[in-house]
Amino acid sequence: MAAKRSTFVICARNVGADNQFGGEPAEISFLRVPAGKDRYDAGLAMKADSWRKYLMAAADGEEDELTGLRGNILVFIHGYNNDIPTIVWRTRKLQETLDDAGWKGVVVAFDWPCENSTLNYLEDRSDAASVADKLVSDVIPMLVSAPDAACVLNVHLIGHSTGAYVIQEAFSRATTKGELFRAEWRIAQVVLIGGDIAADSLDASSQWSGPMFDRIVRLTNYQNRHDSVLGVSNAKRLGTSPRVGRVGLTAQAHSKCVNVDCTHYFEGKDPTHSDFQGTFCHSWHIGDPTFALDLALTLEADIDRLALPTRARGIDGLALQPGLRPQFQSQWLAAAPPLVVG
């Protein structure tokens, strides 16, 4: 089904003379990429209102006329060193695997400028901070405020690698936006994979993450101790503190946080039989069906985080494991049949 659907992109890159997106932060462009097209340029840009209508029509899991059903939007925020074809592939793969897991919603890519050179890593962090401002000024208000009474949207964010930094910085900057700060809005679920932020930045006492926790329902961190990209010995890291995507949450983590340790599950994965792009230990999540089902159940939030069939409970906390969606889950909320009195 995903192959026949459009891919929605919010792009924060500059536009060159050839209509191609460049490597510097710029005004937001809203794009709807046709199925089968593996890259995009500014020629696909649409007016924000038109783009939003198409998005809402796809938010119930089908790209059709607006039905007025409750919908889900998952905004995928990529990390360092992602080119446009990779962003398209990862967005579509997330959509495809979530569809297969039974999730009803639409995945949207938030594309920010990032280069493919280690020397540009710190510059990319600066760009990430800059585009975080765009995320709170132009994107979140449009998604969380639904003037269409028939549409009730649940908005979620998933950050890969440096995308976790973009998310945290966006909520921090939202406190400086008077009208947005005073408004009553919420993001449902925030998910981090390969999160390239300090583990203690998600502590209850962290001033940086405080604004985020004020606005979200739950944060789920997927940890993998084999993620060498996040290792302290990595040259581009320049000696920064242990990253949450590798070591997991601290004992002082905010009460809204949930940690899922993927280390043991990852140890059984064969890259030659896996569908992925990028460095395997850092980006295996996108394309993995077990992760996709756990993510789908997390976004739905119909089952408590401690009871998901894709999670084992041990002395060290929750760990990812293969599992199946409960057989009768779709019937659990069904209305009881009327009583027959005779």
Quote the number of domains for the chain. Answer: 1
Q: What is the rounded distance in angstroms from the CA atom of residue 265 to the CA atom of residue 246?
A: 14
In a domain, 51, yes or no: yes
- Position 136 confidence tier, pLDDT thresholds 50, 70, 90: confident
- Higher confidence at residue 182 or residue 256? 256
Q: Six-digit token pair at 177?
A: 């936006």
Closest CA to 107 of 10, 14, 25, 183: 10
pLDDT at site 340: 66
Encode pLDDT of 217-243 as tens digits: 999 999 999 999 998 655 555 557 899
Report the share of the chain in percent with pLDDT over 70: 85
- Cβ atoms of 177 and 136 closer than 8 Å: yes
Where does the pLDDT of residue 131 fall: very low under 50, low under 70, confident under 90, or very high at 90 and above? confident
338 within domain boundaries: no
Is 151 inside any structural domain? yes
Neighbours of 234 (CB within 10 A): 16
pTM higher than the cut 0.85: yes
**Which of 17-31, 113-127, 150-164, 261-275 is least confident?**
113-127
337, part of any domain: no
Does 91 have pLDDT greater than 90?
yes
pLDDT of residue 218: 97
Q: pLDDT band at 148, cuts 50/70/90?
A: low
For residue 155, tell me if it sits in a domain.
yes
Going by C-alpha positions, the residue among 292, 261, 159 that lies closest to residue 216 is: 159
Burial class (CB in 10 A: 0-12, 13-18, 19+), 271: exposed
Contact 87, 113 (CB under 8 A): no
Domain range for residue 42? Answer: 2-331
Residue 334's pLDDT is: 78
Tokens of 43: 């020629």
At 246 the pLDDT is 96
Q: Which of 296, 292, 326, 295 is nearest to 309 (CA)?
A: 326
Residue 167 lies in a domain: yes
Residue 298 pLDDT greater than 60, yes or no: yes
Closest CA to 72 of 56, 87, 88: 56
Tens digits of residue pLDDT in 19-71: 999 988 889 999 999 998 999 999 999 999 999 989 988 987 776 655 555 68
Summarised one tens digit per residue, pLDDT across range 94-116 is 999 999 999 999 999 999 887 65
The verdict on residue 342 lying in a domain is: no
Residue 321 covered by a domain: yes
Q: What is the CATH number of the domain that holds 201?
A: 3.40.50
Which tokens go with 228?
Answer: 């060498």
- Contact by Cβ (8 Å): 46, 128: no
Phi, psi of 107 (to 5 degrees): -95, 135
